[in-house]
A and B are shown apart, each in its own frame.
Chain A
């Protein structure tokens, strides 16, 4: 319990007032000359037990009444949700606000979202109780520490408005930790408002142990988790997974892949036959398609929408009818003419180079333009870095300027595939280097033991069938060696001796792949069994060409904000975000022929909620209180309870009055004389 006027508690000694009055009253007595003292002595002797108890009760009730008045005047706050958690006065209060798209789940009756509910409750609570000299907000969109003047300002600040970003709770806690350390805040309350989205919390991250250790070293830090883990009922989210402009003669069209997902728990019979109207809008032209929703959601692949031939690039949106989360009902997309998919093969072996060129020059589908050049390693310096989507490097690993240029090439979102040279001359790039050539003699040793079929270059085809990699034979391979302090790569395929055949290096953008064999017949059957080889190369060039396209899709992220300095906001027209918030809200931005569509990330549609047990374990050993709230819940985290004290006071006074009531007077002994005349007679 805390108090809004705690200084009034200094008046608590006034509870002794009834005793004082009693003592004064005793001293104000009058004196009476009394003869019947024997009855007084007897009465005093009998005045024990219930009578004395009654008197003490009266005195106690009077003291309780005075105490209740003082408590009521101190405006006590009781926090039902906080249970018995002691809420002392903090020096600082940190609010870690999850502004991710999933926090916009609405209570359809009140119209309040999880975020707004949490903000209102926090604002109300903090305005009622002391929050210390520092009130700080760390929002998930910017992860920046911002001071706030008052709790009421929480409701109006732009930093507390909804965004399409995802949250990263460990990062926010680390920021909070750094702030507390830097400011030596001392006693602090850390309020976390979140919907326990598993992606936001990342419970498997190794950072949690470090966060726990650091917080446990600090004294007086209390963590409060305002949790909104309830899943919205009947919420649908829509996403365009692929958009492509295709022109055939004088006709142009957009080909879209649309994914409709329902929240978990929607596998009920009501949704099996549910049809959902999906509205497409391109160049202010709208069309509606009904999608049949199954338990797993729905997908619309290759949906064609005719467009004007002259519309070389542009943007559009796809929208669902309103439901409990408005932020995942709309998805923006941009399109442009596909760029020329140019690949450069750097090799000193013309035969190998030709094998690569043949597989890269043939486009996977009509309308795409492919270009593949073969250059020797000595001519690598003169590569057309700007217009190349994929570099296949089958030579000694480059060093110096070329290596730096390759890193910049990858950072720009494009792809490099390294194949081992015939003669290894050493060298290291992306923390990897080639070792010695190994020969696989026996038939069973030449097969692949494992490959990753769910993603990346060797993923299964759209129908779900795996690539025919089990037919692939590896006769010779070159071992791949990692530097000791380098980042571990991700193997995509392994040989029977557990050596990687295809490895993806860890990079922030683009792609770097190391394949430990060559396609020619001396080394493997890649060229002969060309399907897997062709698909692998085509997927690599597709990834590389994405960043070259004039139109690109991005996930909402504060990191993209700096890229928008030259852009202008195109959509949404209504409620367009301010310039400082571009990149964290869903929308379309344009810089000449370049278009960028910003949408929520895929993980926001996967509403996997971490269990409370898992979350509780993350705060194991810390002073931590979880408050399970529900969206739209209007009950306060803390409420004033002075009325209760007034009622208690009234009850105490009534009881006191009852105990003080004089007992019903019995007319005492009428005069009756015991005349014994008759008896004597």
Chain B
């Protein structure tokens, strides 16, 4: 499958998939899946993982009674086990014009496709459902999460033909996704987030309120932060707005002041909403970015914590 995917979808690297396949995609919060899977569920189930004891109440299945505990304490206890379930991976990708920004031949939308596609592939491989939501204003796609290989191909095909165009509609898309995704899901947002942090804050709070595990890949290149220009330049808005003629020697300081404030505010927003935030430099390898993401989500072993 990896070989096939890489041959059809150029944004997915087979080597990266091979490297990341052993890490696994984990949710930070319990998921409510409809089949058995690799993720924790808030519902007690029949797995081998012990969860807790609880007092017997009439009507409980007697097969779950822990007779040894009754023998030791003369009380009836029900022994409960963790339920393992699958998760819903909802990929919300920004397809606004600003994703067309390119540095050294690598555009943001390319990077977005790589990240989203690879994650979709990894989730699908471990039996999780994958859905796709596009946040472009003119191009709004909603593919609900499903587990089939055909569905994965549909998503990858969608990603393949995505183009950066128009203004961003991320804020509306996030609110809509928060409402439409009915159960707990892992929501992964890939965007340049060129929206006021206070607007984003309400979006993330909305997602968190719906008990989704939210992760963000923020596509922001270092050159956009440094603003390293040495002569007057005409900046053409990728989202179709009015072009700005500016002398970097004049406005460089103000630009950096503005972006510093933005990054600072965005950090506050992310922390407040408990968002798993990852800033992505366009020159960073996709494998490294995703490895960092996957490793950060790997559940800690209980034995290790006790030690």
Q: Which residues of A contact B255 (CB under 8 A)?
A: 39-40, 42-43
Q: Does B10 contact A (CB under 8 A)?
A: no
B253 near A51 with CB under 8 A, answer: yes
Q: Tell me the chain A residues, 635-681 only, with Cβ under 8 Å from chain B.
A: 660, 662-663, 668-669, 671-677, 679-681
Bound: A668/B98 CA distance, A: 21
B270 near A681 with CB under 8 A, answer: no
Bound: A669/B264 CA distance, A: 10
Bound: A55/B194 CA distance, A: 29
Q: Does B276 contact A (CB under 8 A)?
A: yes
B257 near A46 with CB under 8 A, answer: yes
Q: Does A182 contact B (CB under 8 A)?
A: no
Q: Which residues of A contact B292 (CB under 8 A)?
A: 673
Cross-chain pair count, CB within 8 angstroms: 150
A35 near B224 with CB under 8 A, answer: yes
Bound: A383/B193 CA distance, A: 135
B259 near A36 with CB under 8 A, answer: yes
- CB within 8 A of A663: which of B253, B259, B279? B253
Known contacts A676-B274, A676-B277; A34 and B253 CB within 8 A of each other: no
Q: Tell me the chain A residues, 29-64 only, with Cβ under 8 Å from chain B.
A: 29-44, 46-47, 51-52, 55
Q: Does B262 contact A (CB under 8 A)?
A: yes
- CB within 8 A of A680: which of B29, B225, B244, B260? B29
Q: Which residues of B contact A662 (CB under 8 A)?
A: 249
- CB within 8 A of B241: which of A33, A37, A677? A37
| Interface hit among B47-55, B77-85, B175-183, B229-237 | B229-237
Q: What are 18 pairs between A and B in contact, CB < 8 Å?
A: A28-B232, A32-B235, A33-B102, A34-B238, A35-B224, A36-B224, A37-B238, A38-B196, A38-B258, A40-B235, A41-B244, A42-B255, A55-B250, A673-B279, A676-B273, A676-B276, A676-B277, A680-B276
Q: Which residues of A contact B270 (CB under 8 A)?
A: 674, 676
Smallest CB-CB separation from B268: which chain A residue?
A674
Q: Does B42 contact A (CB under 8 A)?
A: no
Residues of chain B whose beta carbon lies under 8 Å from any beta carbon of chain A: 28-29, 97-102, 108, 192, 194, 196, 213, 220, 222, 224-226, 229, 231-239, 241, 243-247, 249-260, 262-263, 267, 270-271, 273-279, 281, 292, 296-297
A35-B239, A36-B220 provided; 6 other pairs, C-beta below 8 A?
A: A34-B236, A37-B238, A43-B257, A673-B278, A677-B276, A677-B296
B238 near A39 with CB under 8 A, answer: no
B236 near A33 with CB under 8 A, answer: yes
Bound: A677/B231 CA distance, A: 43
Q: How far is the CB of A58 from chain B (nearest CB, A)?
A: 9
Q: Does A26 contact B (CB under 8 A)?
A: yes
Q: How far is the CB of B30 from chain A (nearest CB, A)?
A: 11
Q: Does A522 contact B (CB under 8 A)?
A: no
Q: Which residues of A contact B263 (CB under 8 A)?
A: 669
Interface centre among A28, A36, A44, A52 (most CB of B within 10 A): A36
- CB within 8 A of B251: which of A38, A44, A680? A44
- CB within 8 A of A35: which of B29, B99, B229, B271? B99
Q: How far is the CB of A153 from chain B (nearest CB, A)?
A: 58
Q: Does A25 contact B (CB under 8 A)?
A: yes
Q: How far is the CB of B149 from chain A (nearest CB, A)?
A: 30
Q: Which residues of A contact B247 (CB under 8 A)?
A: 26
Bound: A673/B196 CA distance, A: 19
Interface centre among B249, B254, B267, B276 (most CB of A within 10 A): B254
B233 near A671 with CB under 8 A, answer: no
Q: Which residues of B contact A47 (CB under 8 A)?
A: 250-251, 254
Q: Which residues of A contact B29 (CB under 8 A)?
A: 680
Known contacts A29-B231, A36-B194; A674 and B277 CB within 8 A of each other: yes
Q: Which residues of A contact B257 (CB under 8 A)?
A: 43, 46
Q: Which residues of B contact A660 (CB under 8 A)?
A: 249
Q: Which residues of A contact B194 (CB under 8 A)?
A: 35-38
- Proximity bits, A399-437, B CB within 8 Å = 1, else 0: 000000000000000000000000000000000000000
Bound: A361/B225 CA distance, A: 126
Bound: A452/B102 CA distance, A: 116
Q: How far is the CB of A38 from chain B (nearest CB, A)?
A: 5
Bound: A36/B220 CA distance, A: 9
Q: Which residues of B contact A33 (CB under 8 A)?
A: 100-102, 236, 238
Number of interface residues of A (CB under 8 A): 39
Bound: A675/B271 CA distance, A: 8
Known contacts A26-B245, A675-B296; A39 and B250 CB within 8 A of each other: no
A43 near B254 with CB under 8 A, answer: yes
- CB within 8 A of B271: which of A41, A42, A669, A679? A679
Q: How far is the CB of B91 from chain A (nearest CB, A)?
A: 19
Smallest CB-CB separation from B284: which chain A residue?
A671
Q: Which residues of B contact A674 (CB under 8 A)?
A: 267, 270-271, 275, 277
A40 near B108 with CB under 8 A, answer: no
B279 near A30 with CB under 8 A, answer: no
Q: Which residues of B contact A680 (CB under 8 A)?
A: 28-29, 213, 274, 276
Bound: A675/B294 CA distance, A: 12
Q: How far is the CB of B196 from chain A (nearest CB, A)?
A: 8
Q: Which residues of A contact B236 (CB under 8 A)?
A: 31-34
Interface centre among A39, A42, A44, A47 (most CB of B within 10 A): A39
A40 near B296 with CB under 8 A, answer: no
Q: How far is the CB of A34 from chain B (nearest CB, A)?
A: 4
A44 near B244 with CB under 8 A, answer: yes
Bound: A52/B108 CA distance, A: 34
Q: How far is the CB of A669 from chain B (nearest CB, A)?
A: 6
Q: Which residues of A contact B275 (CB under 8 A)?
A: 674, 676
Bound: A668/B228 CA distance, A: 12
Bound: A23/B170 CA distance, A: 39
Q: Which residues of A contact B256 (CB under 8 A)?
A: 668
Interface centre among A35, A37, A677 (most CB of B within 10 A): A35
- CB within 8 A of A43: which of B108, B192, B239, B246? B246
A37 near B237 with CB under 8 A, answer: yes
Smallest CB-CB separation from B213: which chain A residue?
A680
B258 near A46 with CB under 8 A, answer: yes
Known contacts A42-B254, A669-B225; A37 and B244 CB within 8 A of each other: yes
A42 near B276 with CB under 8 A, answer: no
Q: Which residues of B contact A41 (CB under 8 A)?
A: 244
A25 near B281 with CB under 8 A, answer: no
Bound: A367/B50 CA distance, A: 166
**What are the 8 closest A-B residue pairs judged by CB atoms, nearest first?**
A35-B98, A43-B254, A35-B101, A43-B255, A42-B258, A46-B254, A676-B274, A34-B235
Q: Which residues of A contact B237 (CB under 8 A)?
A: 34, 37
B250 near A31 with CB under 8 A, answer: no
Bound: A26/B248 CA distance, A: 12
Bound: A637/B37 CA distance, A: 103
Bound: A74/B238 CA distance, A: 53
Interface centre among A46, A660, A675, A680 (most CB of B within 10 A): A675
A51 near B259 with CB under 8 A, answer: no
Bound: A226/B253 CA distance, A: 60
A675 near B235 with CB under 8 A, answer: no
Q: Which residues of A contact B244 (CB under 8 A)?
A: 37, 40-41, 44
Q: Which residues of B contact A43 (CB under 8 A)?
A: 246, 251-252, 254-255, 257-258
A35 near B192 with CB under 8 A, answer: yes
Q: Which residues of B contact A36 (CB under 8 A)?
A: 98, 101, 192, 194, 220, 224, 259
Smallest CB-CB separation from B196: which chain A residue?
A38
A32 near B238 with CB under 8 A, answer: no
Bound: A43/B278 CA distance, A: 26
Bound: A617/B271 CA distance, A: 89
A675 near B277 with CB under 8 A, answer: yes
Interface centre among B102, B247, B273 (most CB of A within 10 A): B247
B192 near A31 with CB under 8 A, answer: no
Bound: A556/B278 CA distance, A: 109
Smallest CB-CB separation from B195: which chain A residue?
A38
A675 near B276 with CB under 8 A, answer: yes
B239 near A37 with CB under 8 A, answer: yes
Bound: A43/B279 CA distance, A: 23
Smallest CB-CB separation from A663: which chain B residue?
B253
Q: Which residues of B contact A677 (CB under 8 A)?
A: 28, 276, 296-297
